[in-house]
């Protein structure tokens, strides 16, 4: 990390245990993580390596058992594998609710909703209901909704894992553009090696049982990137080998989240 | 509208109307058949036509309208109070774990208790008064309404709550913008069931707690039975059935509209 850039996220000796007594599982063991402002970081690992747990702790959805996470008061938005749009609201209602909860004055809602929908390439979709949209469209509305709070840090928990490959490629292009335009800091959880190599400035490889950071791999490729770039395939293959290795080394333990 | 469009609409309406009409016709035919066969003497088992005649007479009968007014007022006030009490109780129970474990199972148990079993106690408490009837109507409807709201709130998807939390919803705003709207379909289903219980309790109450000075549908039925006026008795029963169905129909429409907006509802393949 170059000197002079400030830290957006600093996690120090963060651990998390679930359950108690016999059934206690150490999901995350003394993890240190630093993310610079404007950085795109991917957390990569198989299931049970604690990557989603780490993300949920950064989001404040669960408390770490020990350790501290500091974001210097930056606003944090989050996206999940499911869009989690509120089904009783229209697209506009969903985005307006985020604006309202972040304290934006009512007079701005309509204009800012239109702006955000333009940004995710869904102009004029205000009056649609979530169940009328495709999976990819729903995720784009969810992205617009997260951005409505003017967050500086965006946490993404396998947001494209349930989409087909073509839609996913298109959304990779979009998220890269939005990240660039808005100067966001993104922490992106995935188990997909190509996705990690496609998106991340840095890929943090995690290993299971207990969840730990195994190593950090910088991806120094020019942007905007393309998924079919052979350089990405090479990086992805290397990441894949590392995952296999860490997975084989891991002691067999009941799966943590 | 063009002629073919009107025709198609006519066909749709007909497709929806003929099955219930056929059902009604079969019912009336069986009834008429039993009447003709004199299964029971005609003065205790009247023909459909006699009942229909009484129904027509009701339209111009001020006593009927005053009885109907009394019963409907009781139903509306009783259900309205049950709505307020049940909703408050539901919110209290779903937000307090202690309260929930204290009276939660009792509330579910009360739902299975036949409301007519409350009447002897209610009559001792309040005498043969309006209050005795209201007491049982409210007791009948409150558990369903409260339980509907509680299970609605229990079933709010945790993912939506987590998402709302990341969007900044906390405490009151979480309830107002997420929990309550998410619980709405189940709550409305509870209201439907609550109405059914309230209406049944009301009829039981009006038959048991006869206040002669205030004609109601229940008082009317008691008179008709005493004077062996079976046709009028059956006509009153038809009125009771129709009112119950109408209110249920309105609540069903509300329920379907709420669900359709969210992309829910019966899909038949």
DSSP states along A204-241: EEEETTTBEEEEEEE----SS--TT-HHHHHHHHHHHH
Average pLDDT over residues A170-189: 90
Which of B158, B163, B176, B184 is the best substitution to test chain A (most A C-beta atoms within 10 A)? B163
Closest A-chain CA to B173: A101
Which of B165, B169, B262 lies at the smallest CB-CB distance from A87? B262
Residues of B with Cβ-Cβ distance to A100 under 8 angstroms: 177
Two tokens, residue A160: 């494209």
Q: What is the CA radius of gyration of chain B?
A: 23
Give strand pairing partners of A35.
A9
Cis amide prior to A210 (ω within 30 degrees)? yes
Which of A80, A85, A86 is the best substitution to test chain B (most B C-beta atoms within 10 A)? A86
Which of A76, A84, A129 lies at the smallest CB-CB distance from B163? A84
- A78 part of contact set with chain B, CB < 8 Å: yes
Alpha helices in chain B (DSSP H): 3-36, 48-58, 62-95, 97-112, 119-126, 130-154, 158-166, 171-174, 180-208, 217-226, 230-261
Q: CB A129 to CB B263 under 8 A?
A: yes
Residues in CB range of A13: below 8 A, 6 or more apart: A30, A31, A32, A66, A67, A68
Question: What integer pLDDT is reported at residue A256 of this predicted model?
Answer: 45
- B41 part of contact set with chain A, CB < 8 Å: no
**What are the angstrom distances between the C-alpha of B202 and each of A149, B39, B77?**
52, 32, 11
Same domain? B250 vs B130: yes
Q: What is the CA radius of gyration of chain A?
A: 19
Give strand pairing partners of A14.
A31
Q: Are A217 and A73 in contact (CB under 8 A)?
A: no
- A133 part of contact set with chain B, CB < 8 Å: no
Same domain? B16 vs B80: no
Residues of A with Cβ-Cβ distance to B168 under 8 angstroms: 98, 101-102, 149
Two tokens, residue B245: 């169905």
Average pLDDT over residues A10-36: 86
Question: What integer pLDDT is reported at residue A4 of this predicted model?
Answer: 53
Residues of A with Cβ-Cβ distance to B158 under 8 angstroms: none
Long-range contacts of B157-162 (CB under 8 A, 24+ apart): B157/A84, B157/B182, B159/A80, B159/A82, B159/A84, B160/A84, B160/A86, B162/A61, B162/A80, B162/A84
- In order along its 269 residues, chain B shows pLDDT tens digits of 556 777 788 888 888 888 889 999 999 999 999 999 988 898 889 999 999 999 999 999 999 999 999 999 999 999 999 999 999 999 899 888 898 888 888 888 888 888 889 999 999 999 999 999 999 999 999 999 999 999 999 999 999 999 999 898 888 889 889 998 999 999 999 999 999 999 999 999 999 988 878 889 999 999 999 998 999 999 999 999 999 899 989 999 998 888 888 887 766 56
Same domain? B92 vs B171: yes
Q: What is the pLDDT of residues B217-230, one digit of tens each?
A: 999 999 999 998 99
Under the banding of pLDDT at 50, 70 and 90, the label for residue A165 is: confident
Same domain? B116 vs B232: yes
Residues of B with Cβ-Cβ distance to A76 under 8 angstroms: 166
Q: CB B166 to CB A88 under 8 A?
A: no
Q: What is the pLDDT of residues A122-162, one digit of tens each?
A: 888 888 999 999 988 999 999 999 989 888 999 999 998 88
> Nearest Cα to A187, choosing from A79, A46, A81?
A79
User: Could you tell me the end-to-end alpha-carbon distance of chain B, in angstroms, rounded to an integer?
Assistant: 31
Same domain? B25 vs B90: no
Same domain? B149 vs B109: yes
Burial of B2-34, coded b for 16+ CB within 10 Å and e otherwise, reads: eeeeeeeeeeeeeeeeeeeeeeeeeeeeebeee
Count of A-B CB contacts under 8 Å:
60
Q: What is the pLDDT of residues B64-106, one digit of tens each?
A: 999 999 999 999 999 999 999 999 999 899 888 898 888 888 8
Two tokens, residue B131: 């209050």
Same domain? B60 vs B3: no
Residues of B with Cβ-Cβ distance to A129 under 8 angstroms: 261-263
Gap from A98 CA to chain B (nearest CA, Å): 6
Same domain? B29 vs B152: no
User: Considering chain A, what is the average pLDDT of its residues?
Assistant: 87
Which of B160, B173, B261 lies at the smallest CB-CB distance from A129? B261
CB < 8 Å from B in window 169-188 of A: none
Q: Are A153 and A9 in contact (CB under 8 A)?
A: yes
- B162 part of contact set with chain A, CB < 8 Å: yes
**Three-state secondary-structure class, residue A189:** strand
Which of A77, A87, A89 lies at the smallest CB-CB distance from B166? A77
B125 occurs within a structural domain = yes
Q: Does pLDDT of A3 surpass 50?
A: no
Distance between CA atoms of residues A31 and A28, nearest Å: 7
Q: Are A193 and A232 in contact (CB under 8 A)?
A: no
Same domain? B144 vs B223: yes
Domain that holds residue B150: 45-261
Closest B-chain CA to A62: B162
Distance between CA atoms of residues A97 and A102, nearest Å: 9
- B8 part of contact set with chain A, CB < 8 Å: no
B268 occurs within a structural domain = no
CB < 8 Å from A in window 99-138 of B: none
State the burial class of residue A110 (Cβ atoms within 10 Å of its Cβ: 0-12, 13-18, 19+): middle
**Three-state secondary-structure class, residue B118:** helix
Q: CB B167 to CB A86 under 8 A?
A: no
Residues of B with Cβ-Cβ distance to A97 under 8 angstroms: 167, 177
Same domain? B86 vs B211: yes
φ, ψ dihedrals at B99, nearest 5°? -60, -40
The DSSP-derived string for B6-35 is HHHHHHHHHHHHHHHHHHHHHHHHHHHHHH
Distance between CA atoms of residues B68 and B240, nearest Å: 9
Question: What integer pLDDT is reported at residue B78 of this predicted model?
Answer: 95
Burial of A10-39, coded b for 16+ CB within 10 Å and e otherwise, reads: ebeebbbbeeeeeeebbbbbebebebbbbb
Domain with CATH 3.40.50.300 in chain A: 7-74+152-249
Same domain? B117 vs B35: no
Same domain? B50 vs B105: yes
Q: CB B182 to CB A61 under 8 A?
A: no
Q: Are B209 and B123 in contact (CB under 8 A)?
A: yes
Residue entry with tokens 């067999």: A252
Distance between CA atoms of residues A241 and A243, nearest Å: 5
User: Could you tell me the end-to-end alpha-carbon distance of chain A, in angstroms, rounded to an integer?
Assistant: 30
Count of structural domains, chain B: 2
How much is the ipTM here?
Answer: 0.84
Distance between CA atoms of residues B14 and A253, nearest Å: 65
Residues of A with Cβ-Cβ distance to B182 under 8 angstroms: 86, 88
Q: What is the pLDDT of residues A221-241, one digit of tens each?
A: 888 888 888 888 888 888 899
- B167 part of contact set with chain A, CB < 8 Å: yes
CB < 8 Å from A in window 178-217 of B: 178, 181-182, 184
φ, ψ dihedrals at A214, nearest 5°? -85, -50
Which of B164, B258, B262 lies at the smallest CB-CB distance from A131? B262
Question: What integer pLDDT is reported at residue A252 of this predicted model?
Answer: 61
Q: A7-74+152-249 architecture in CATH?
A: 3-Layer(aba) Sandwich (3.40)
Under the banding of pLDDT at 50, 70 and 90, the label for residue A255 is: very low
Q: What is the pLDDT of residues A75-97, one digit of tens each?
A: 899 999 999 999 999 999 999 99
B66 occurs within a structural domain = yes
Distance between CA atoms of residues A223 and A176, nearest Å: 8
> Nearest Cα to A199, choosing from A186, A181, A212?
A186
């Amino acid at each position: 990390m170059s000197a002079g850039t400030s830290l957006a996220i600093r996690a120090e000796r963060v651990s998390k245990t679930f359950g108690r007594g016999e059934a206690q599982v150490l999901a995350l063991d003394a993890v240190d993580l630093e993310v610079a402002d404007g950085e795109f970081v991917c957390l990569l690992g198989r299931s049970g390596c604690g990557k989603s747990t780490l993300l949920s702790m950064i989001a404040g959805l669960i408390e770490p058992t020990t350790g501290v996470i500091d974001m210097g008061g930056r606003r944090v938005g989050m996206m999940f594998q499911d869009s989690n749009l509120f089904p009783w609201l229209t697209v506009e209602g969903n985005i307006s609710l985020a604006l309202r909860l972040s304290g934006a004055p009512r007079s701005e809602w309509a204009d800012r909703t239109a702006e955000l929908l333009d940004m995710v390439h869904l102009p004029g979709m205000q009056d649609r209901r979530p169940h009328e949209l495709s999976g990819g469209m729903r995720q784009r509305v969810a992205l617009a909704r997260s951005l409505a709070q003017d967050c500086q840090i965006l946490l993404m928990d396998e947001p494209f894992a349930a989409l087909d490959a073509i839609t996913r490629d298109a959304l990779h292009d979009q998220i890269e553009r939005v990240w660039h335009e808005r100067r966001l800091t993104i922490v992106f959880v995935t188990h997909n090696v190509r996705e990690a190599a496609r998106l991340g400035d840095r890929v943090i490889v995690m290993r299971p049982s207990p969840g730990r950071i195994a190593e950090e791999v910088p991806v120094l490729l020019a942007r905007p990137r393309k998924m079919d770039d052979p350089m990405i395939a090479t990086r992805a293959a290397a990441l894949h080998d590392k995952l296999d290795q860490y997975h084989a080394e891991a002691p067999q333990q009941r799966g943590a989240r | 509208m063009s002629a073919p469009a009107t025709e198609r609409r006519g066909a749709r309406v007909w497709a929806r109307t003929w099955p219930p009409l056929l059902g009604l016709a079969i019912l009336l035919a069986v009834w008429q058949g039993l009447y003709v066969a004199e299964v029971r003497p005609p003065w205790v088992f009247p023909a459909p036509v006699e009942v229909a005649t009484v129904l027509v007479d009701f339209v111009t009968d001020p006593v009927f309208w005053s009885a109907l007014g009394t019963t409907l007022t009781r139903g509306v006030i009783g259900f309205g109070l049950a709505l307020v009490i049940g909703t408050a109780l539901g919110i209290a129970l779903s937000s307090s774990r202690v309260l929930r474990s204290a009276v939660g199972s009792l509330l579910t148990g009360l739902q299975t208790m036949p409301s007519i079993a409350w009447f002897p106690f209610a009559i001792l408490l309040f005498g043969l008064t309006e209050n005795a009837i209201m007491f049982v109507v409210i007791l009948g409807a409150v558990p369903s309404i409260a339980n509907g709201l509680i299970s609605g709130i229990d079933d709010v998807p945790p993912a939506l709550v987590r998402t709302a939390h990341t969007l900044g919803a906390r405490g009151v705003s979480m309830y107002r913008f997420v929990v309550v709207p998410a619980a709405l379909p189940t709550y409305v289903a509870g209201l439907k069931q609550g109405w059914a219980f309230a209406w049944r309790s009301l009829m039981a109450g009006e038959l048991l707690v006869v206040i002669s000075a205030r004609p109601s549908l229940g008082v009317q039925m008691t008179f008709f039975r005493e004077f062996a006026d079976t046709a009028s008795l059956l006509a009153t029963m038809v009125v009771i059935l129709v009112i119950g169905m109408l209110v249920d129909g309105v609540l069903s429409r509300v329920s379907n509209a709420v669900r359709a907006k969210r992309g829910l509802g019966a899909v038949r393949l």
